[in-house]
Amino acid sequence: MSNVIQIRGIIRDFKLGQETVHVLKGIDLDIKHGEYIAIMGPSGSGKSTLMNILGCLDTPTDGTYELNGNDVSKMTDNELADIRNKEIGFVFQTFNLLPRTTALDNVALPMVYAGASKKERAERAGEVLTDVGLADRMDHKPNQLSGGQRQRVAVGRALVNKPSIILADEPTGNLDSKTSVEIMQLFDDIHAAGNTVILVTHEEDIAEHAHRVIRLRDGIIESDIHQK
């Protein structure tokens, strides 16, 4: 199976006053289409920085990053925004929903940036909300939804443009244990449908859902284990 992600020699430095902090120290990583991966590591290990680079939210100081054969490490901000919208679906711990907007319109938002018609947006967003179990909540605003339902809306928004990768940053961090189980079942289903899923988590029970666990420590990959 071909690589959806190939990174070589990724270095990320940050300037703090007179000092340079070396956060990522030469990461090599291949991720194949359809993999289910958890990225783990203690605070300060570099996992959030790596996620931001994988998600095209940040660019490396040095090294190359190919996403579906495109070298994104050299792209402009506008090109990165375009790639993000088409290729990557994000799910965040804090949901990041627009508060005064219905579930349907929140899910449809990435399609606005992709230039889809209003009819296309409504149809596709409706499909996706049905898939994530919210067919009866499309007209509800976030404050009318439970935490689990809000995360389902966020998952729907991540799926709406049919991206290559679903990138989830601590997706159960704000949820109780019962709701966490339901959301992880949803990620399992998304993976089973053929999506590449990358979870960033510090919770071992969440990482158990993934088929491969990559552990970072001090800016390097400490271990990379296939567990299923």
What's the pLDDT tens digit per position in 161-201? 999 899 999 999 888 999 999 999 999 999 999 999 999 99
Average pLDDT over residues 1-21: 94
pLDDT for residue 26 is more than 90: yes
Which contacts of 178-184 are long-range, i.e. CB under 8 A and separated by 24 or more positions?
179/146, 179/147, 179/148, 179/151, 180/206, 182/148, 183/148, 183/151, 183/152, 183/155, 184/209
Residue 161's closest CA among 187, 198, 124, 194? 124
pLDDT for residue 56 is more than 80: yes
Average pLDDT over residues 26-45: 95
CATH number at residue 123: 3.40.50.300
Does pTM top 0.75 for this prediction? yes
pLDDT for residue 73 is more than 90: no
Question: According to the model, what pLDDT value does residue 209 have?
Answer: 95
Question: According to the model, what pLDDT value does residue 167 have?
Answer: 96
Confidence of residue 99 (pLDDT cuts 50, 70, 90): very high
CA distance 16 to 121: 43
Contacts of 157 (CB under 8 A, 6+ apart): 89, 97, 106, 107, 109, 110
Q: What angle do CA 212, 24, 75 make, to 5 degrees?
A: 90
CA distances from 128 to 108, 120, 178, 206 (A): 9, 12, 23, 23
Number of domains present in the structure of the chain: 1
End-to-end CA distance of the chain: 17
Confidence of residue 227 (pLDDT cuts 50, 70, 90): confident
Query: Rounded mean pLDDT of the chain?
Result: 93
Instruction: For the chain, give percent helix, strand, coil, nearest 5.
Output: 40, 30, 30
Residue 166's closest CA among 146, 145, 187? 187
Structure-model confidence comparison of residues 9 and 76, the more confident one: 9
Residue 81 belongs to what domain range?
Answer: 3-226
The residue to which tokens 């965040």 are assigned: 92
Residue 103: its H or E element: helix 103-113
What is residue 215's three-state secondary structure? strand
Question: According to the model, what pLDDT value does residue 35 have?
Answer: 97
For the chain, percent of residues with pLDDT exceeding 70: 100
Contacts of 196 (CB under 8 A, 6+ apart): 4, 31, 32, 33, 34, 35, 36, 37, 164, 165, 166
